[in-house]
Amino acid sequence: MTLPSSDCTIPPDRFYQKGISLFQRIFLTAVALCAVVLGIYYFDLLKAPTIHDANGRTMGTTWSARYVLDEQTGKATPEQAKAAIDQALEAVNQSMSTYIPDSELMSLNDRPVNTPVKVSDELFRMVEQADHVSRLSGGAYDVTAGNLVNLWGFGSVDGQAETGSEQSLPEQVNEHSQAAFQEWMAKGRVATVPAADAIAGAKQNTGFQSLILDQENRTITKTKPVFIDLSSIAKGYGVDRAAKALEQLGITSYMVEVGGEIRLRGHKPDGKGWRIAVREPVLEQGINTIVSLDNRAIATSGDYLNYYEVEGVHFSHLIDARTGYPEQHRLASVAVIADETSLADAYATMFMILGEKEGMRVAKEQGIDAYFIYHTDNGFTSSSTGNFDSYRVDK
């Protein structure tokens, strides 16, 4: 069917207006719309969440952070974020370090016995948390084991180590250079086993039962000359403090790590969660498992970093306060997931001291999310407790 010509003809005054054709108008309109769309897209890109990285040094080790800046949730700058983390970690170090002579913890250690000492809320809380883990372990893990740790040369004072101040990990030494790392760990340490009477003497001045914690007055009293050591919990607490500092800046998606202890919250800009690899418990080896976490923390402890050998016998820094000697079992490392990094840190250390049998028993009884890696004749094997497997993404 053919339409009449009069019905299909566009009048000239409608086809051309002021010298601009209809096709030109359509084209210019399309260009204008594209410009508006691209402008909005570019503006959104400027406001889009972006990942930022920061790192530094603290507590004789390194720290790192990866976080998402989003104009919708906060106005912080990368410089402000790094400064907030540094400030938080410095406060924890000044409070809980045994390598700073005038730290709050060392001032407490230096006070006479039977003298109530008022301490900060933070120090009280960490000593209280470590005391809880000490009781849970039956005294194997002990917050007052500093005299034994120092005697074996793994501490900050006395003993066999000539370490007047905490050693920082040199730039050229890292976990991928096994020989250099072990050389650095052994620096200033005399690799000899303490005499039995010296160990017995240090044990006499060890025992979490010798601490009186007054919650109402926030005082700590020592009934024996014990040495409180928070090395197994302070780094984890530093992570918690650094994470809180980021949250106060409006940053709600982050991954914060101090010495391998990590806290995570939120997700990456692409919507994917943060993933953490649990490494094989041997330097220069790869990944054992991978977990994905949100608003939780993970900490690991192992026997493959801080140790020395005497006549072929491996002595790690993990001292069983019940015996006065370093742990001796086939457990190679433990990873623990918890709500607080400080607690995950302490639990991981406790399990390493208890060993595979006692550690597994306590973890199962308490419902703790833990991942145990054991030495075998052919390498390593593993087992888990609690809900740890639900976080794994490599099963």
Question: Does 50 belong to an annotated binding site?
Answer: no
What is the C-alpha to C-alpha distance for residues 238 and 257, in angstroms, rounded to an integer? 9
Residues 54-90 as b or e (16 or more Cβ within 10 Å = b)? beeebbbbbbebbbbbbeeebebeeeebbebbbebbe
State the maximum Cα–Cα separation within the chain, in Å, rounded to a whole number.
Answer: 118
| 381 in a known ligand binding site | no
Query: Token pair 């403090």 is at which residue?
Result: 241
Cα 113 from Cα 225, distance rounded (Å):
6
345 is in an annotated binding site: yes
- Residues 369 and 16: their CA atoms lie apart, in Å, by 76
DSSP letter for 227, please.
B
Q: What angle (nearest 5°) sits at the alpha carbon of residue 138, between those of residues 323 and 135? A: 130
Q: Which amino acid is at 263?
A: R
258: which DSSP letter?
E
d(C-alpha 177, C-alpha 174), whole Å: 6
Q: Is 386 left (phi over 0), alpha (psi -120 to 50) or beta?
A: left
Q: Cα Rg for the chain, rounded, in angstroms? A: 29
> What DSSP element (H or E) covers 116?
none
Task: Give the CA dihedral 169, 171, 174, 178, nearest 10 degrees.
Answer: -90
Length of the chain: 395
DSSP state of 104: H
The binding site comprises 232, 345, 349
Binding-site residues for Mg(2+) sit at 232, 345, 349
